[in-house]
Amino acid sequence: MAVVDQLRVELFGSERAAVTKRPTDDIAVHNLYLLGRHHWYRITKENLAASQKYFEEAIALDPDFAPGYAGLAAVFMRAWADLGLLSPKEAIPKIKIAAGKALSLDPDSGEAHWMLAYLAFIFERDWSRVEYHSKRAIASGPNRGEFRLPYVFLLSAATRHDEALAESERAVQLDPVSALTAENAGYAYYLARKYDKAREYCERSLMLDPNFDMVHVTIGLLDIQKGKLDAAITELSKAQIYPEFLGYAYGASGRSDQARRILHELEENLNRGEGSAYSVALVYLGLGDKSAALENLEKIAEESPAYLWAAWLKPDPIWDPLRDDPRFQDLLRRMNFPD
Q: What angle do CA 271, 267, 288 make, to 5 degrees?
A: 150
**What pLDDT score does 23 carry?**
67
Q: Which amino acid is at 257?
A: D
**Residue predicted with more confidence, 25 or 79:** 79
* Boundary residue ending a domain (120, 143, 166): 143
Which pLDDT score is estimated for 226? 97
Statement to judge: residues 27 and 138 lie in one domain? yes
Do 117 and 23 share a domain, yes or no?
A: yes
- Residue 4's pLDDT is what? 33
Answer positive or negative: Cα dihedral of 144, 147, 151, 152. Answer: positive
* pLDDT attached to residue 74: 96
Domain that holds residue 325: 242-339
Q: Does 57 score more than 70 pLDDT?
A: yes
Distance, CA of 164 to CA of 182 (rounded, Å) = 13
Pair (93, 45) in one structural domain:
yes
183 pLDDT more than 60: yes
Instruction: Give the pLDDT confidence score for residue 297 in this predicted structure.
Output: 96
* Structure confidence at residue 24 (pLDDT): 77
Work out the average pLDDT over 222-248: 96
- Find the mean pLDDT for residues 236-246: 94
Looking at residue 116, its pLDDT comes to: 97
d(CA 156, CA 139): 21
How far apart CA 13 and CA 177 sit, in angstroms, is 7
Asked if the model's pLDDT at residue 126 lies above 90, the reply is yes
pLDDT over threshold 80, residue 61: yes
- Rounded CA-CA distance 65/63 in Å is 6
**Is pLDDT above 80 for 201?**
yes
Are 178 and 283 found together in one domain? no
Q: What is the pLDDT confidence band of residue 84, given thresholds at 50, 70 and 90?
A: confident
pTM of structure: 0.88
H or E element at residue 314 = none
Which residues lie closer than 8 Å to 121 by C-beta, 6 or more apart? 127, 130, 150, 153, 154, 157, 311
170 and 223 belong to one structural domain: yes
Give the count of domains, the chain. Answer: 3
User: Which backbone phi and psi does 77 adopt, to 5 degrees?
Assistant: -65, -45
What is the pLDDT, as a whole number, of residue 22? 53
User: Same structural domain for residues 139 and 157?
Assistant: no
Same domain? For 16 and 133 the reply is yes
Nearest of 269, 194, 260, 185 to residue 225 by alpha carbon: 194
pLDDT value of position 25: 78
Q: Does 257 have pLDDT greater than 60? A: yes
Quick one: residue 292, left, alpha or beta (phi over 0 = left, psi -120 to 50 = alpha)? alpha
d(CA 130, CA 148): 11
Indicate whether 110 and 156 sit together in one domain: no
The verdict on 159 and 105 lying in the same domain is: no
How much is the average pLDDT of 201-207?
97
Q: Which among 237, 268, 300 is the end of a domain?
A: 237
* pLDDT, tens only, 1-46: 333 333 333 434 444 444 435 567 789 999 999 999 999 988 789 9
Mean pLDDT of the chain: 91
Name the domain boundary from 143, 159, 184: 143
Looking at residue 118, what is its pLDDT? 94
Question: Both 192 and 72 in a single domain?
Answer: no
pLDDT per residue as tens digits for the range 276-287: 999 999 999 999
108 and 224 assigned to the same domain? no
Query: Does residue 211 register a pLDDT over 90?
Result: no
**Which CATH number goes with the domain that contains 111?**
1.25.40.10
Distance, in Å, from the CA atom of 184 to the CA atom of 199, rounded to the nearest integer, reads 11
**pLDDT value for 143:** 94
pLDDT value at position 202? 98
Give yes or no: residues 34 and 51 share one domain: yes
pLDDT in tens, 148-182: 999 999 999 999 999 999 999 999 999 999 999 99
- pLDDT tops 50 at residue 267: yes
